[in-house]
Structure 1
Amino acid sequence: MANVSVVRMFLLSGLNETMNYRIAIFSLTLLYYCMILVFNISIIMIIILDQNLHEPMYILLCSFCMNGLYGTTGFYPKFLLDLFSSSQQISYEWCLLQAFVMYSFACCELSILAVMAFDRYLAICRPLHYQSVMTKTKVSQLICFSWLTPFCLFSISIVLTSTLKLCGSIIPKLYCVNWIIVKLSCPDSNTLSSNILSYATIIIYVCHGLFTIWSYMHMIRTCVKSKDDRVKFMQTCVPHLISLVTFLVVGLFELMHMRFGSTHLPQSLQNFIAIEFLLIPPVMNPLVYGFKLTKIRNRILGLVNVERK
């Protein structure tokens, strides 16, 4: 038990420079979080309740929106409480849990996007094999893969982190990050296993990204040859591409800033960089899919017309 940390509380110092505006920030954040809940739950319920939407593409979209709810719930409620707390503290156990949620959410997002790219690749490039490959069993297996892989990886990562002896308790962010907790470990702590797993995880999800890019390259090449395929690509693949590019940009920006970025930037700018992946994709994804996918758009418009009557 000599390696168990004696630090029982962490201080999240990211809010220090913005506490003068906490009422305005609280109001805007609460409104924004409510929008995230309404948009994502609406898409999920429409897909669950409409039998015509029980197709692989929409089932994967449902999983995608559930992941958005999962990740944002790991951040926004705690952030809202911190805005009215005199000290933005978080217990050791809850900090590890939040770090697990943040990392697993981000990697689930990449995994689901890769599976969605595979689904669209089969639909456009291998249409004759689509029904035989994308069975209910296969879709269930792919969804389990997209959720269980990051859960297993980061469960191991958090367990390794929990064995470290810590010599610091200040986290200069709005939420807990496993990488920063590891950096707070004492000089005599053995962080080799954590570092190896961290880089292995990066390699795994870089491969996810490369597979997704490869899938879209093949789809674009196929669509150039056929007008019907071009229409299908514009209707069903453009939302995926928008989601993928948005998440990769904001995710990589945060990753690069966290590991190599300057600490001399204004705290408010550092905070915005840190939460971009929790701000933009969770709202943008259901809006893009809701407006772009014809079946979902028609379902939403039908519900709106019923309400008006």
Structure 2
Amino acid sequence: MRVAVIGASGQLGSDIVFVLGDDAIPLTHQDVDVTDASSLDVIRDLKPDVIVNTAAYHKVDECELNPLKTFNVNSVGALNVAKIANEVDAINIYISTDFVFDGKKGRPYNEDDQPNPVNVYGLSKYIGEIVTRNYSRKYYIIRLASLFGVKGARGKGGNFIDKITEKARRGEPIRVVDDMIMSPTYTKDVARMLKKLLELRPEYGVYHMVNEGYCSWYELAKTVFEIIGWDADIKPIKTRDLNLVARRPLFSALENRRLHKLGFRMRPWREALKEYLVERGLVK
């Protein structure tokens, strides 16, 4: 199985490449720009069995101010990948997000729930989903949430855990929202489950793939420092206190219903978090 991984140097892409090992064909932004259809010619030459598209513009507030760039990467890019996947008869895997939902359900969203994005980023990813579904002969749409991985989210200046631990090192106060609920997810666990999915090749469609359970960002931050054993200056605030440019869904936790039906389970987020902190060298 030859798997072309677009965005191979990113937080998620790097772990997919690591887990797939010799099956992975890593493609960085220098190799492939999904917004430029001609740059995808390299995939025509490689003829992979699977294409995993992790490329995304995901700075949520910047997306609100730069809708053309956002839709170009997240939606038009998805169209370009779908077309080349059909051409080489590859399975097209589009990485999506919990932000396709509006957060009003009040409990975890499953794959059958109707998306209703409340910001430009979420809308662009939902359109990317529609394009993937309608243009791909063989596809999986994988919805993820609140990722943390060793590579960090370079486009965001590091993931959430990187940012709060760095603040703690500097002795700075840490203020985190306690009214935004999500599913913290370890990129290495996503990569491992994606490998299992590709080995099984179940029915095509949408799959949620997050660590089990959910919490607020404040609870996640508190748990990080409890595991590390640091006495950080951390206090809860409300989302409205941040004056964010883009609206956020306040409850966007996901349920892995379709994985459960296949007999697969992701481990609890606290367990995954501890392994991540060990991998980062923050816990022995």
Normalised by the length of structure 1, the TM-score is: 0.23
Q: Which has the higher helix share?
A: 1
Higher-Rg member (1/2): 1
Q: Which has the higher strand share?
A: 2
Normalised by the length of structure 2, the TM-score is: 0.25
- Comparing both chains, which one has the higher relative contact order based on Cα–Cα distances under 8 Å and sequence gaps of 6 or more? 1
